[in-house]
Amino acid sequence: MDTILTGIRVNGELTLGNFLGALVPMVRLANEHNKTHNINIFVPDLHTIISDVDGDLQKNIIKSVKYYLAAGLKVGGNVHFYRQSYVPAHSELNWILNCVASMGELNRMTQFKEKSEGKESVNAGIFDYPVLMAADILLYDARYVPVGEDQFQHLELTRNLAIRINNRFDEPIFTPPEKTEEQVKFMNLDGGIRIRDLQNPEKKMSKSSRAENSKIMLSDDPSVAAKKIMSATTDSLGNIKFDMFNQPGISNLLQIEALVNDVPLQEVISTWAGESHYGDLKKKVAESVSTFLASFQEELAAISEEAVYELLETGEAYVNEVADRKLEKVQKAFGLR
Ligand code: TYM
């Protein structure tokens, strides 16, 4: 059975970008494929500590699992939830992959460049981040890894490492994840998703942005979120069109409108084609986002902490066995066993 796998770091509250770009597509895929695929959803707690954690890490972990459940993920059967640090094989495989990945290829990672730019001192975890990510994926032979567009380069690296290792031995060891074009097709999206910063739509919406108006957090009061949408930066072309290059602000609003209402982007684009009043579009998106947040927050409050712990412990017992088997195969191939 093929595996679909993903994770979201838990440094603090999630933005609407993380939610719509990664969590919602995963929930949709998981519910569609849970009879025919393993669905691995994990909390990358080790990836989380590469940077400061806002609030209590344990609380953030529990909350992040609740997010999936509140977003409608159906549990049971082939669906496995787990914490990365509770499955030691991730760190073990990380080291072995470190001995295959090159400094040059890690130096080229855009996320590393962005996170280290202008900093006097950068921890080695930030540099090695994509290799641990490769271990997360390859341990389970995951073919599909739903992530936002900013992670595609890390997926390509994972694929390259798997192919490089397979070529070294007589028998293939890993299933490389599919190419990003195939991932996008599998996710049934028009392209990778990148929700933009509301004030500066050239950039992605990011947790680390200081300007409050630039990002919508899942914990935002719905009326506050609506105001943020109303103050979003647009352009002066006066034409509602999906064109990320020339009209990123307007395109971002169309994208958000489609995702929060779970309708195809093309449908939203057609509805607004030829319109020129940006205020009307903003009002509609503000309403959609606040309705969505109100119902999401209600769902979230109804999920107990005990239910989350039970889910994690069951998942960890299962995946530790799968991961240890794969790790042993790798250790044997490298002569360590
Ligand atoms: P993280 O926490 O940085 O991002 C989590 C997910 O959110 C997506 N994302 C966005 N999507 C659309 N628009 C945005 N503005 C936006 N901001 C973030 C990211 O693409 C990501 O999918 N490295 C992963 C965590 C991870 C992982 C893995 C994922 C660790 N190991 C193995 C898959 C498989 C990450 O970026 O987390």
The rounded Å distance from CA 336 to ligand 1 centre is 33
**Residue 48 forms part of a structural domain:** yes
Look up the pTM and report it.
0.91
Ligand 1 atom 22 nearest Cα: 147
CATH classification of the domain holding 235: 1.10.240.10
Residues with CB under 6 A from ligand 1: 5-9, 17-18, 21-22, 44, 47, 133, 136-137, 145, 147-148, 150-151, 193-195, 204-205
Same domain, 179 and 217: no
Q: Does 257 share its domain with 177?
A: no
Per-residue pLDDT tens digits for 100-140:
999 999 999 999 999 999 999 999 999 999 999 999 999 99
CA–centroid distance, 209 to ligand 1, in Å, is 16
Both 131 and 32 in one domain: the answer is: yes
Of all atoms in ligand 1, which is nearest to the CA of residue 132?
31
One domain, residues 291 and 181: no
173 plus 309 within the same structural domain: yes
Residues 59 and 125 occupy one common structural domain: yes
User: What total of structural domains would you count in the chain?
Assistant: 2
User: How close is the Cα of 151 to the center of ligand 1, in Å?
Assistant: 6
Mean pLDDT in residue range 78-90: 98
Tell which one of 51, 150, 196 to mutate to probe ligand 1, the residue whose CB is within 8 A of the most ligand atoms.
150
Q: Based on the domain organization, do 291 and 313 belong to the same domain? A: no
For the CA of 48, the closest atom of ligand 1 is 2
The answer to whether residue 251 is domain-embedded is yes
The pLDDT of residue 191 is: 64
CB atoms within 10 A of CB 210: 6
User: How far is 169 from 279, CA to CA, in rounded Å?
Assistant: 60
Its domain, for residue 67, covers 3-192+304-333
Structural domain includes residue 202? no
Which atom of ligand 1 has the smallest separation from the CA of 154? 23
Residue 227 in domain: yes
How far away, in angstroms, is 164 Cα from ligand 1 center?
A: 25
Give me the active site residues, please.
Answer: 115, 204, 207
Q: For the chain, give the mean pLDDT.
A: 95
Q: How far does the centroid of ligand 1 lie from the alpha carbon of residue 230, in Å?
A: 26
Looking at the structure, tell me whether residues 7 and 84 fall in a common domain. Answer: yes
Q: Do 286 and 162 sit in the same domain of this protein?
A: no
- Residue 206, domain member (yes or no): no
Alpha-carbon 72 to chain mean position: 16
Structure confidence by residue, pLDDT tens digits, 259-307: 999 899 999 999 999 999 999 999 999 999 999 999 999 999 999 999 9
Both 237 and 225 in one domain: the answer is: yes
Pocket test for ligand 1, best of 8, 114, 207 (most atoms within 8 A of CB): 8
Query: In three state form, how does the secondary structure of the chain look?
Result: CCEEEEECCCCCCCEHHHHHHHHHHHHHHHHHHCCCCEEEEEECHHHHCCCCCCCCHHHHHHHHHHHHHHCCCCCCCCEEEEEHHHCCHHHHHHHHHHCCCCHHHHHCCHHHHHHHCCCCCCCHHHHHHHHHHHHHHHCCCEEECCCCHHHHHHHHHHHHHHHHHHHHCCCCCCCCCCCHHHHHHHHCCCCCCCCECCCCCCCECCCCCCCHHHCCECCCCHHHHHHHHHCCCCCCCCCCCCCCCCCHHHHHHHHHHHHHCCCCHHHHHHHHCCCCCHHHHHHHHHHHHHHHHHHHHHHHHCCCHHHHHHHHHHHHHHHHHHHHHHHHHHHHHCCCC
The mean per-residue pLDDT over the stretch 222-228 comes to 97
**Do 87 and 185 share a structural domain?**
yes
pLDDT band at 192 (very low <50, low <70, confident <90, very high): low
For residue 311, being part of any structural domain is answered with yes
- The CATH number linked to 54 is 3.40.50.620
Both 109 and 161 in a single domain? yes
Candidate from 55-64, 170-179, 186-195 with smallest mean pLDDT: 186-195
Residue 205 lies in a domain: no
Condensed to tens digits (0 to 9), the pLDDT of residues 247-263 reads 999 999 999 999 999 89
d(CA 322, CA 82): 13
Give domain status of residue 234, yes or no.
yes
